Amino acid sequence: MPAFPDNFLWGTATAAYQVEGAWNEDGRTPSIWDTFSHTPGLVANGDTGDVACDHYHRLEEDLDLLAALGVGAYRFSISWPRVQPGGRGPANGPGLAFYSRLVDGLLTRDIAPVATLYHWDLPQELEDAGGWPQRDTALRFADYARLMGDALGDRVHTWITLNEPWCSAYLGYASGVHAPARTEPAAALAAVHHLNLGHGLAVQALRSTAAKDARMSVTLNLHHVRGVSEADADAVRRADAVANRAFLGPMLEGAYPRDLIEDTAAVTDWSFVRDGDEATACQPLDVLGVNYYNPTLVRQWDGAGPRETADGHQDGAASPWIACEDVEFVKQPGPYTEMGWNIDETGLTELLLRLHRDYPSMPTMITENGAAFPDPVGEDGRVHDEDRVDYLRRHLTAVAEAMEAGADVRGYFVWSLMDNFEWAHGYAKRFGIVRVDRDTMERTWKDSAYWYRDVVATGKLG
């Protein structure tokens, strides 16, 4: 059984809109996800994040839960419209006070606060002004980062600027399955750039505040893209460019990859990239956050017969895979999680080793990994989620294998601490190691929570 180093950071993760609720309290204004979830037909069962897990009102209880799990770190996100209503102007005192209590409550319990600035909840007013396809949103984001650095900077262990900008740009502005539900490929690529720029500006802003000594990071949901055969190398390259190198390039190398610009030439001329932007996006980081759930399998489409689009996002013209019209997304062998995602931890080892090869001096941290399963409550009132324990054990073994092969991995955060609002799927998909009863909000440890507590305590996989 692999053992992890003593200083390995063990944590769990959540995001503001998915757990907090209190959507219109204490001065918070709507985000694009309030608008999205309140639009009939966009979220399964008409679910919204209005109440979510009521974490805003159950903060102490949830802090105690984290302490009982024994984790060394907690990754949460800050709701931008809660702390800066409308996305402009001064900070909102009650909103800040909530996060201040959260951070202090973590520190009191010896848990390192890992704060994500942007986990998809753009203030609606900024979307009304054009959203991420507009340059000004990146500037607003930097202002918000500065406010947060001033308020919490001396107490947060690690700052993560963005969570999964792939989702913000492509699911939000190309396929439209996420807020703000736009299906405009050119706007999606502009959003990619302004997210990259906003990241760099935010790191600069944070470093000008009390956060200057904190660790800086960004979380990417990198796709581990494999080809069915060697003949599919160009399909792999295209998908990798638009999904991964569109972010890794500017953020870690200071330049967009040439092939991405060429592949997408029919969609945009990238004239929104101004001199100096790529250098701004490329700020020194302390650790790269990696979210991994499953790999992606592609094949070059020969144009004959219907194109396979098994990645679940390929609905008609509104695909998140811009400039991948001749790429087939191939169904992968099971087993599958409740999301329909195949379980294949080997992709995580390979991804971590690729990052280690391409960016040898950049440590990584798994900022999300986990699985949704049906999780029925047993007759004994407990949730015996062996499938989740198995998933987590496999993926942690994969992390250990990457570390043995040289990858510098500093930590691991289970997604998620508790069942929560799974975006367009509403509450139907349960990712938590702690169950949340939708009627009573009662938190109940699943078997995976007990298992994870023991892993955290021993550094060994039971």
Residue 141 CB, nearest approach to ligand IFM (Å): 18
The binding site for ligand IFM (CB under 6 A) comprises 15, 18, 164, 291, 368, 415, 422, 431
Q: Residue 167 or 327: which CB sits closer to ligand IFM?
A: 167
- The annotation status of 420 as a binding-site residue, yes or no, is no
Longest dimension (CA), the chain: 63
Q: Residue 47 or 368: which CB sits closer to ligand IFM?
A: 368
Catalytic status, residue 20: no
Residue 15 CB, nearest approach to ligand IFM (Å): 5
Q: Residue 164 or 232: which CB sits closer to ligand IFM?
A: 164
Cβ(14)–Cβ(115) under 8 Å?
Answer: no
- The annotation status of 17 as a binding-site residue, yes or no, is no
- The annotation status of 291 as a binding-site residue, yes or no, is no
Q: 404: how many CB neighbours lie within 10 A of its CB?
A: 10
Residue 48 CB, nearest approach to ligand IFM (Å): 15
Residue 415 Rama label (left phi>0; alpha psi -120 to 50; beta): beta
DSSP state of 212: G
Contacts of 420 (CB under 8 A, 6+ apart): 14, 15, 18, 19, 52, 53, 427, 431, 432, 436
Write the DSSP assignment of 127-182 as a string of letters: HHTT-TTSHHHHHHHHHHHHHHHHHHTTT-SEEEEEE-HHIIIIIHHTS-SSTT--
Which residue's C-beta sits nearest to ligand IFM? 15
- CA 69 – CA 449 distance, rounded (Å): 7
Residue 136 CB, nearest approach to ligand IFM (Å): 25
- CA 117 – CA 333 distance, rounded (Å): 36
Q: Quote the tokens at residue 314.
A: 């390929």
Residue 28 CB, nearest approach to ligand IFM (Å): 19
* Active-site pick, 20, 164, 278, 345: 164
Residue 293 CB, nearest approach to ligand IFM (Å): 7
- CA 452 – CA 11 distance, rounded (Å): 10
- CA 309 – CA 462 distance, rounded (Å): 38
- The annotation status of 166 as a binding-site residue, yes or no, is no
Q: Residue 49 or 153: which CB sits closer to ligand IFM?
A: 49
- CA 327 – CA 319 distance, rounded (Å): 12
- The annotation status of 395 as a binding-site residue, yes or no, is no
Q: Work out whether the CA dihedral 120, 122, 127, 130 comes out positive or negative.
A: negative
DSSP state of 310: T
Residue 110 CB, nearest approach to ligand IFM (Å): 26
Q: Which residue has the tokens 């190198």?
A: 245
Residue 264 CB, nearest approach to ligand IFM (Å): 25
- The annotation status of 20 as a binding-site residue, yes or no, is no
Q: Residue 15 or 151: which CB sits closer to ligand IFM?
A: 15
Q: Residue 240 or 368: which CB sits closer to ligand IFM?
A: 368
Q: Which of 435, 350, 447 is nearest to 390 (CA)?
A: 447
Cβ(404)–Cβ(398) under 8 Å?
Answer: no
Catalytic status, residue 164: yes
* Active-site pick, 127, 345, 368, 401: 368
Q: 24: how many CB neighbours lie within 10 A of its CB?
A: 10
Q: Residue 162 or 273: which CB sits closer to ligand IFM?
A: 162
- The annotation status of 283 as a binding-site residue, yes or no, is no
Q: Which of 387, 317, 372, 369 is nearest to 341 (CA)?
A: 372
Write the DSSP assignment of 3-36 as a string of letters: B--TT-EEEEE--HHHH---TTSTT---BHHHHH
DSSP state of 64: H
Q: Residue 42 or 151: which CB sits closer to ligand IFM?
A: 42
Annotated binding site: 18, 119, 163, 293, 415, 422-423
Annotated binding site for substrate: 18, 119, 163, 293, 415, 422-423
Question: Catalytic amino acids?
Answer: 164, 368
